[in-house]
């Protein structure tokens, strides 16, 4: 719409990231370079994903209407590579406990938000046409931050051998739920005619629940191994 609107959207997208970086203590660790490394791995993983998508997945342009369940399943399964990437980040960044997980999560989400959102905002939100979708996307990228931090934590938990046996299935379940949540949203959008605002709410609720459960398991774990 205007440059002002663009400014609004940018603030909505990036200020929470800055706040997380600043006030969660990452800045005290001097973790900026580590975040940057995490971003580098993010880009590397995205390139690999694109290569796999382009090489092995058939194009679905000819699907006339309705939801292409199989195609979506493959695409979302390829997104599982993200978990490998996150594991890579966790294993290659030195550091202890909380700082390590937060660095990986913020770096990963930060790279995503810069690479996928900024162009969209610059081209769209600055244009003459007003659309709520830029505000919605901005809010969505806030949810992404929580999502990525939560999944990085889950991946970290999954990689621990000293994880409580009873918690292991929950971790795996949450991981797969996070990977395939897009299914749920597509279903709601296509068959129950959810508006984009409602989807955003559902996404927020879903991600907060995952976040809270993850936080619980993590804090138990942290007590056990004496991170406090």
Partner 1 sequence: MFVLEEDISEIFKNTFTYYFVLISIILFVAPLSSVEGAHEFQAYRMHQFDFNSVAYGCRSASVNLEVHSLLTWSTARHCIITWLLEMSIDQYKLLSNKAGCVLLILPQQMHALSEEEKTMVLMLEKYMMSLDTLTPTYFAHWSPELDKIATDVNHGLTTTNTKESAVQALINAVAGNRYQLVINANKPTPTPDLHIASVYGTLAGKSTRGDIDRLPTIVIVAHYDTMGIAPELAMGADNNGSGLVALFELVRLFSTLFGQPRSHAPYNLVFLVSGGGKYNYLATKKFLDEEMEEIGRNVDFVLCLEGLASSPDAVNFFVSKPPKPGTPVDKFYQIFSKVASAKQQQHHSSSSPSPSPLNITVKHKKINLQDAWLAWEHEHFSMRKYRAFTLSALENHKDIRRNTILDTKDSLDIPTLTRNIEILAESLASYVYNIQDSSIFQSSLKVEKDSILSHIAYLSHTRRSVQLSPSNSKRNPLVDNFSWMLSKYLKQTGSSNSGGNSVNSGTGSVSSSSSGGVPIVKTFSFPQDRREPDLVTYTGSGFTSPAHVYTVKPIVFDLVLLAGIALYLYVVYLVIVAGVPKFL
Beta strands in 48-191 (DSSP E): none
- Comparing CB distances to partner 1, the nearer of 176 and 219 is 219
Annotate each residue in 65-104 with x if it binds partner 1 (CB under 8 A) or - if it does not, as one string.
-----------------------x--xx-----xx--x--
- Comparing CB distances to partner 1, the nearer of 16 and 110 is 16
Alpha-carbon radius of gyration of the chain: 18
Q: How far is the CB of 225 from partner 1 (least distance, A)?
A: 13
Number of residues that bind partner 1 (CB under 8 A): 41
Candidates 19, 69, 209, 224: give the one binding partner 1 (CB under 8 A): 19
Reference 83, options 147, 31, 143; nearest CA is 147
Q: Which class for 162: exposed (0-12), middle (13-18), buried (19 or more C-beta within 10 A)? A: exposed
**How many angstroms separate the CA atoms of 126 and 80, rounded?**
34
**How many angstroms separate the CA atoms of 154 and 145, rounded?**
14
Q: How far is the CB of 227 from partner 1 (least distance, A)?
A: 8
Please report whether residue 32 would count as binding partner 1 according to CB under 8 A.
no
CA atoms 23, 14, 35, 74: torsion sign:
positive
Tell me the window of 49-57, 67-75, 126-134, 187-195 that interacts with partner 1 (CB under 8 A).
126-134
Pair 196, 133: CB distance under 8 Å: yes
Helical pair 81-92 and 32-56, crossing angle rounded to 10 deg = 150
Show contacts with partner 1 in window 131-150 (CB under 8 A): 131, 135, 142
Show contacts with partner 1 in window 34-53 (CB under 8 A): 36-37, 39-41, 43-44
**How many angstroms separate the CA atoms of 136 and 174, rounded?**
25
Reference 199, options 145, 120, 133; nearest CA is 133
C-beta atoms surrounding 223 within 10 Å: 10
Q: How far is the CB of 102 from partner 1 (least distance, A)?
A: 8
- Comparing CB distances to partner 1, the nearer of 78 and 143 is 143
Q: How far is the CB of 218 from partner 1 (least distance, A)?
A: 8
Task: Give the binding site for partner 1 (CB under 8 A).
Answer: 1-2, 4-5, 8, 11-12, 15-16, 19-20, 23-25, 36-37, 39-41, 43-44, 88, 91-92, 98-99, 102, 119, 122-124, 126-131, 135, 142, 219, 222
């Amino acid at each position: 719409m205007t440059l002002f609107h663009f400014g609004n959207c940018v603030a909505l997208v990036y200020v929470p990231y800055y706040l997380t970086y600043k006030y969660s203590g990452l800045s005290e660790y001097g973790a900026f370079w580590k975040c940057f490394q995490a971003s580098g791995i993010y880009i590397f993983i995205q390139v690999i994903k694109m290569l796999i998508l382009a090489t092995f997945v058939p194009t679905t342009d000819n699907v006339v209407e309705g939801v292409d369940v199989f195609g979506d399943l493959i695409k979302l399964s390829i997104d599982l590579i993200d978990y490998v990437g996150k594991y890579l980040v966790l294993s290659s960044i030195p550091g202890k406990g909380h700082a390590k997980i937060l660095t990986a999560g913020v770096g990963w989400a930060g790279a995503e938000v810069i690479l996928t959102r900024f162009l969209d905002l610059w081209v769209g939100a600055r244009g003459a046409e007003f659309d709520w979708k830029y505000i919605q996307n901005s809010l969505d990228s806030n949810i992404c931050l929580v999502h990525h931090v939560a999944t990085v934590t889950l991946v970290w938990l999954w990689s621990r051998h000293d994880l409580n046996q009873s918690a292991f299935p929950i971790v795996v379940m949450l991981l797969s739920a996070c990977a395939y949540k897009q299914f749920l949203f597509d279903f709601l959008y296509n068959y129950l005619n959810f508006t984009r605002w409602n989807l955003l709410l559902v996404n927020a609720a879903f991600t907060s629940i995952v976040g809270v459960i993850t936080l619980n398991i993590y804090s138990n774990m942290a007590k056990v191994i004496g991170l406090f």
